[in-house]
Amino acid sequence: MAATAKAVANRLLDLAERDGKKIDPLQMQKLLYLAEGWALSVTGESLFRDPIEAWDYGPVVPIIYQSLRGYGARPITARLGEVVDGEIEPARGDFTPSQDRVIQEVWDGYSDWSGPELINLTHKSGSPWFNVYHGNQPERNGRINRINIKEWFDDLADDADKDSQDDF
């Protein structure tokens, strides 16, 4: 069963703390989207069950936006909480080894990217965000279909495989 986006966000915050780095809310949104996309492509399973929507600045998980909006553009300094047995506790996920590997690889691959760089990456023409936001029936804040996300990331993986074969 998929975890919550808050649990994935907390895992990313753990990795940032381990590496002495900070994540702001904009970066967190993009890292969550990238982690979800690569997880769908690599494992065939979602990392989290929360919806992803096409907002002005790219893919957004609304529950994460609501949880982090008080930070503005400042780094996130606390773990995201969830109610467990009537108490608020840091959200945790029971990630499989392959899911955790995807989260770590996304962190390793994108943690040095700025918010604007990540926006450029997620706004590419033909991307799932682009197709909802600018498609035939444009829809701001429309839900991005996970099937489309998986297909996009599958294509990215195929392109990367072709590029690596061209090197030989």
pLDDT tens profile 114-165? 999 999 999 999 999 999 999 877 777 899 999 999 999 999 988 766 554 4
- Using DSSP's 3-state secondary structure scheme, residue 89 falls into strand
Give the integer Cα–Cα distance in Å for 56 and 139: 10
Q: 61 - beta bridge partners?
A: none
Q: Is the pLDDT of residue 2 over 80?
A: no
Look up residue 136 and give its DSSP letter.
S
Residue 139 CB burial class (10 angstroms; 0-12, 13-18, ≥19): middle
Q: 142 - beta bridge partners?
A: 54
pTM listed for this prediction: 0.92
β 58-60/87-90 pair status = unpaired
pLDDT tens profile 132-141? 999 877 777 8
pLDDT tens profile 48-72? 999 999 999 999 999 999 999 999 9
- Using DSSP's 3-state secondary structure scheme, residue 45 falls into coil
Q: What is the pLDDT of residue 1?
A: 59
Average pLDDT, the chain: 92
Q: What is the pLDDT of residue 32?
A: 98
Cα 83 to the center of its chain, rounded Å: 22
Domain locations in the chain as residue ranges: 5-162
Q: What is the CA radius of gyration of the chain?
A: 16
